[in-house]
Structure 1
Amino acid sequence: MTIDCADPYALAGFWVEALEGTLGADDNPGDEMAVVESAGASLLFIRVPEGKSVKNRIHLDLQPQDRGRDEEVERLVALGATVLEDHRRPDGKGWVTLSDPEGNELCVERSRAEKAATGDA
């Protein structure tokens, strides 16, 4: 997946932490592109001159594996994400829509364990 952005290295740094992945060995600040590898995805960040202007037509949904949805939202916000819409429901179901540091949308859904606890696995 390729993501247009203003600062490939900085945005890749956010996603390295978000996906608990690795940054390409030859990626450096100021580069025109950067790569993030993780168990579930390979993301290529490419510098473009224009900024983001509308909602993404495609986005990542993250399902935490070793923590709950709410813990994952807190972790990503601490890394620089912003909560855009909170779709969590009182019964524990739902998701949260965030934006990464450059405004690209992503969602955090419930973990498998959380889904199993409500019979939604």
Structure 2
Amino acid sequence: MALEIHNITFDCADSRGLATFWAGLLGWNVYYDDDPEVVVAPSYPNPGMGLLFIPVPEGKTAKNRVHLDVAPDEGTRDEAVERAVAAGATVTGDHRKDDGTGWVTLLDPEGNEFCIERGAAERGPRTSTAYRIG
């Protein structure tokens, strides 16, 4: 029996504020009610996997052990980085190379790491072979 990912959860101070940042970055929707938890997902009523933002009293104290790698579905990686910075992200690592490969590491407004990679149009066709385990 396999499991599917329902949500990726972020502990945060401002669930609606951080959800709004990520919704803008991903082009997804923000869903909430009177509960302090907020979901960002592509659509409703069957959103599929989403991002869940839960307010917690303690602040972030260490580097994330898991982070999101995102890539633009339109435009370029560099345009996506500019858009993320304009929305409140901070660049912490620039791994772009002269040949156009590479990625940029950023922090969201609450310090969660994420990377922006090149989109499919910039990468071109994949040449590696994927193997399935299990």
2:83 maps to 1:79: no
2:96 maps to 1:88: yes
Partners of 2:21 and 2:71 in 1: how far apart? Answer: 17
Candidates 38, 48, 57, aligned match of 2:42: 38
- What runs of 5+ residues in structure 1 fail to find an aligned partner? none
CA contact (8 A) 2:32 2:38 kept: no
1:26 CA drift (Å): 2.5
2:70 maps to 1:62: yes
Normalising to structure 2: TM-score of the pair? 0.81
Rg larger in 1 or in 2? 2
After superposing on structure 2, the runs of 4+ consecutive aligned residues of structure 1 that deviate more than 2 Å are: 38-41
Q: Which deviates more from structure 2 when the two are superposed, residues 77-86 or residues 36-45? A: 36-45
Candidates 6, 12, 30, aligned match of 1:5: 12
Residue 115 of structure 1 corresponds to 123
1:41 CA drift (Å): 4.1
- What runs of 5+ residues in structure 2 fail to find an aligned partner? 1-7, 128-134
CA contact (8 A) 2:13 2:59 kept: yes
Pairwise CA RMSD: 1.7
Tell me which amino acid in the other structure corresponds to 1:82.
Answer: T
